[in-house]
Amino acid sequence: MKKIFFILLSYFTIIWNSLAQSPNLSGDKTKLTEDTWDWTWALFSWIWSIFSKDTFFKIFLAILVIIWTVVVTKVVKVRLNAILAKQSDWDDWKEEVFWMVTRTINIIILISGFSLAMWILWVNLGLFMWGIWFGIGFTLKTFLTNFVSGIIMVLNWEYSAWMLLEIWWKKWRIIKVNSLMTELEQFDWVRFLVPNIKFLEEYVSNFNTNDKRRVEVFVNVDYNSDILKAKMVATKVINSLPNILQSPEPSVIVTELWADWVQLKVMAWISSQDNYFSARSNLAETLNLAFKQSWIKIPFKQVTISNRN
């Protein structure tokens, strides 16, 4: 409502300035400092002239143009929606681009219709267009930045439905990219609407831009256990899982020698379309079971208590 109020206020200011520049009124305006009565009478004469037949006709015609513009906008929207309904094989990004083009066409039609109505009322179109851009610059800045950001997001193929992102140190899944807002969902099914400009301003990690993703699991092995055997068991587990890719080749390496255990890092690759968390959980669970069956001990932290007495 505040944006609409500021836009209407700018329009009325433009109309007032344009009418105030008419010969009858601007000529008497110079007498304001000389004779206040002449200026008051000129203003009264101008207000009375508004109620003339010619002025009423122009106002009536301008209202008809505005009504016609709104009707044409709705008809175009309905026709474009009908075209979209027939395209059942379109992807989500194609539908979103189509919606953005539809909104752009509607905005162009509305601006053209209101400009014609202002021209009928003898409003200075230069001032009118300046008022539009003034209103856009100060009241619609957020709208335009999010709208353009949405177009960039869709056309770059970097963001689409069900992609996994990391932003603000949290992981999200994209539900839908809209023209102004992007709908995100956390893993607890809580959904958020985020302005599109945030995806261009913030640091965003996209886990689906590549066709592969690495799964890592850290395993601690007791010093008394055979490390080579533990690596062989882990490699066998990796090769037994169905969703693990063989290229790049999986690997098991020793990363740290801690005070109480040897740390192994198990690395495997899966398709970015697979469920990462399910794959990682399955790998960790299978490793734990295989180590128990092979009598490879996974230690716990040792605490030594000494009695000085």
CATH number of residue 185's parent domain = 2.30.30.60
Q: Is the pLDDT of residue 26 over 60?
A: no
How far is the C-alpha of 43 from the C-alpha of 24, rounded, in Å?
Answer: 9
Is 278 within a domain?
Answer: yes
CA 284 to chain centre: 35
Q: Is the pLDDT of residue 145 over 70?
A: yes
Per the model's pLDDT, the better-predicted residue between 173 and 216 turns out to be: 216
Give pTM, 2 decimals. Answer: 0.50
The two three-digit tokens of residue 73, written as one number: 């906008």
How sure is the predictor about 29, in pLDDT bands with cuts at 50, 70 and 90?
Answer: very low
How far is the C-alpha of 307 from the C-alpha of 288, rounded, in Å?
Answer: 36
CATH of the domain at 280: 3.30.70.100
Is 307 within a domain?
Answer: no
Other residues' Cβ atoms within 10 Å of the Cβ of residue 27:
10
| DSSP code for 160 | -
**Same domain assignment for residues 192 and 229:** no
**Same domain assignment for residues 163 and 97:** no
Q: What is the pLDDT of residue 285?
A: 93
Q: How many domains does the chain have?
A: 3
**Same domain assignment for residues 72 and 137:** yes
**Long-range Cβ pairs for the range 105-113 (8 Å, 24+):** 105/76, 105/80, 106/73, 106/76, 106/77, 109/69, 109/72, 109/73, 109/76, 110/69, 110/70, 110/73, 112/69, 113/65, 113/66, 113/68, 113/69, 113/70, 113/72, 113/73
What are the residues facing 185 on neighbouring strands?
A: 173, 191
The two three-digit tokens of residue 220, written as one number: 């601690």
Sign of CA dihedral 190, 193, 195, 200: positive
